[in-house]
Amino acid sequence: MDIRPQPLREWLLIGAMLTVAWLPHAVVGIALTVAGLVFHTPWALVWLVGMLVAGATRGFMGRDRLPGRAVRPEDEPELVALVQDVAERVGFREPLLVRIVPDVDASMGPAKVDGVRTYVLLLGLPLLRMLTDAQLASVVAHELAHVHHARDRRMSALRFARGCLAERMDGRFRPLGPLAVPLLRATQPQMWQAETAADADAVRVAGTEATAEALRRTGIIHAAFEGLGADWVLSAAEEDTYPEDLYAALESALAEPLVADRSVLSATSEEEMTAASPYAVDDHPPLGHRIAALPADVEAATSYTGAPLALRTAESVERWCVRLLAGLEDTPADDLRPVRLLDLPDDRLHALSDRTGLTLLKGATGHEAPEEAVAAALDTVADGTWPRLARRLEPQLRWMPATVRSVAAPQVVSTAVVQGLESVLHTAGWTHANRWINSVLVAPDGTTVLDLYEPITAALKDGDPEPVRTLLATAATARKETAA
């Protein structure tokens, strides 16, 4: 049974969303026009014209800029052949360019190239390196299928209108919320149906198993890239270096079960945060919903090797991507200072991890010593005032919807306290259990392996910080014994 809304109702929803989305601009424009005409203030009209010119200029300047690095058939024949095969199988016959980007991305968009309407397929290098050819084919099929389905003008307009309205929900002040939320909720089912329809097309190309695994792996890779990878790039940049083996190190890290499991947890937390939003802005269903909706037991239409594609220009592509991430793409080669993450000793690699949480914890509690800062944070857990601590650590929490804040606040506090406790225990002789993860430590006697997130998360949930206080006391005793 077709559950899509009738065309008239759908067009009315589109018109309503665009009206609400552009309402602030209309109000400002009318107010400036009235001020200019009634009060004879030319500056108001000049400001209005300036806003219009600035908007048009931004659109014109960014129109012909294609992101990423071009993939040429002579350079990467295997990748181009895979994309062409997938395009034929999903019925995509438009002009198509493939470009590689540095982050975990897979997306499609139209562009004018030499006056010809063309589609640009962006593929992130982490996906090219860490997905098998079948999984990559599934990702490509999903994106091409979106364009195939978007030939329906209503769906294209609906996606555009939702995007415009969703932007209004990102700001600190959301006065349009009461008008926007019913419209976004009413149109979210169509967006979710579009995603599951594209997933079904991907299954017909790559099979059920590869499509399901591509969905899982993409989230895991994204979480690791945004966590570990971002830390490595930023920390190296502070020392005027860049991690030349960023992608190889990321692969090596994700090969370890502890890192993979932590990335799964991070991806799940991000999904929970999105699901907690009351604004229904997310166009993608939850991962579990998407996997459950896949057609069952479909075999791939093409035989795949089960291994990632080998990029022939891998070295130059990786070098370009890493330098772009580090903001060094225009830096002369002689001025570059590369560092190899895989060659660093463990302690040096751990030092590259983000320590912002500990710095913020010290400032929020007024204690410079990590053990005192952690103790003060535990006091707020005991008396139930830790949400105030969370807002001091992350002021943006004040402006989040309450449902989102209830998910984000414990994560903010636990991250800060984990970094503080890790510093205290490491000083007391605890060692890191893993080369890539700082928060899992081994006791000095080697008998205990502890993931610091576990007792801290439990303390926030139960309001009982005593187990963590015991760890602090143990660390203090160990330091005294060492000093003696």
CA trace torsion 42, 45, 50, 52 (10° rounding): -170
Element (H, E) at 227: none
Residue 1: the pLDDT is 37
Q: Helices 386-393 and 402-427 sit at what angle, rounded to 10 degrees?
A: 90
The per-residue pLDDT for 3 is 44
156-198 pLDDT per residue, tens: 888 888 888 888 887 777 777 888 899 999 999 989 999 999 9
The DSSP result for 263-310, as a single string, is HHHHHHHHHHHHHH-TT----S--HHHHHHTSPTTPPPSS---SS---
The secondary structure of 120-189 as a DSSP string is EEEEEHHHHHHS-HHHHHHHHHHHHHHHHHTTSHHHHHHHHHHHHHHHTTSSS--TTHHHHHHHHHHHHH
Q: What whole-number distance in Å separates Cα of residue 275 and Cα of residue 445? A: 42
Residue range 379-389: average pLDDT?
A: 96
Structure tokens at 457: 């998360």
pLDDT by residue (tens digit) across 35-64? Answer: 555 555 555 445 445 544 455 444 444 445
Q: Write the single-letter amino acid at 47.
A: W
Give the chain's mean pLDDT. Answer: 87
CB atoms within 10 A of CB 401: 14
pLDDT tens, position by position, 136-155 = 999 999 999 988 776 667 88
**Would you call 462 helix, strand, or coil by DSSP?**
helix
* Of 162-171, 276-285, 360-369, 413-422, minimum mean pLDDT range: 162-171
Of residues 81, 79, 89, 192, the one with CA closest to residue 127:
79
Whole-model pTM: value is 0.88
| CA-wise closest residue to 285 among 186, 157, 199 | 199
Look at residue 451 in the predicted model and tell me its pLDDT: 94
Mean pLDDT to the nearest integer, 17-38:
65
Structure tokens, 10: 């759908």
Is the per-residue pLDDT at 204 higher than 90?
yes
Six-digit token string for 304: 């795949």
Amino acid at site 254: L
Buried b (16+ CB within 10 A) or exposed e, 134-165: bbbbbbbbbbbbbbbbbeeebbebbbebbeeb
pLDDT at position 481, please? 65
Tokens representing residue 254 in the block: 């994700």
Q: Largest Cα–Cα distance in the chain? A: 82
| pLDDT at 278 exceeding the cut of 80 | yes
44-to-24, 33, 34, 50, 224 alpha-carbon distances in Å: 16, 7, 9, 10, 49
- Angstrom distance (rounded) from CA 447 to CA 433: 12
Bridge partners, 243 (sequence order): 339
Q: What is the mean pLDDT of residues 381-406?
A: 93
**What is the structure's pLDDT at 43?**
53
Q: Check pLDDT > 60 for residue 236.
A: yes
Helix (H, G, I), strand (E, B), or coil: what is residue 338?
strand
CA 161 → CA 64, 187, 384, distances in Å?
Answer: 23, 10, 42
Q: Exposure of 27 by Cβ count < 10 A (0-12 exposed, 13-18 middle, 19+ buried)? A: exposed
Q: For the residues 430-436, what does the mean pLDDT come to?
A: 93
474 or 460: which leads in pLDDT: 460
Q: How far apart are CA 179 and CA 453, in angstroms?
A: 40
186 contact partners, CB below 8 Å, separation of at least 6: 13
> pLDDT at position 42, please?
59
Gyration radius of the chain over CA positions: 26
Q: How confident is the model at residue 237 (pLDDT cuts 50, 70, 90)?
A: confident
Residue of 191 and 336 predicted with greater confidence: 191
Task: Give the burial class of 1: count Cβ atoms within 10 A of its Cβ; 0-12 exposed, 13-18 middle, 19 or more buried.
Answer: exposed
